[in-house]
């Protein structure tokens, strides 16, 4: 039973990180930074950290974690129902 909780937490973490990655890919901050050769928008790391501080990305990691968690629970239920 303990392994199941750890596996579920890891699956939710991976889902959340996937959601964060998707949110960054869709972000206008990333597209501005990718097009800039010089100036303040050219520092990719700084733009990413600024984007994290702005905080408009949070629904995507939450959604990713919830979907991954629900999929994990469904897989566990199907596995244990046999």
For residue 47, the model assigns a pLDDT of 87
Q: What is the pLDDT of residues 40-56, one digit of tens each?
A: 778 888 888 888 888 88
Burial class for 65, CB neighbours closer than 10 Å (0-12, 13-18, 19+)? buried
6 pLDDT more than 70: yes
Per-residue pLDDT band for 1 (boundaries 50, 70, 90) equals: low
Q: How many distinct helices (H) and strands (E) make up the chain?
A: 4, 0
Characterise 43 by phi-psi region: left (phi > 0), alpha (psi -120 to 50), beta (else).
Answer: beta
Pull the structure tokens for residue 54: 């702005």
Q: Mean pLDDT, to the nearest integer, of 17-21?
A: 94
């Amino acid at each position: 039973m303990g392994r199941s909780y750890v596996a579920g937490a890891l699956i939710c973490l991976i889902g959340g990180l996937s959601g964060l990655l998707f949110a960054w890919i869709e972000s206008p901050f990333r597209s501005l930074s990718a097009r800039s050769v010089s100036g303040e928008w050219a520092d990719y790391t700084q733009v990413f950290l600024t984007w994290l501080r702005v905080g408009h990305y949070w629904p995507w990691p939450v959604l990713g974690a919830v979907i991954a968690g629900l999929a994990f629970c469904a897989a566990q239920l199907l596995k244990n129902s046999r």
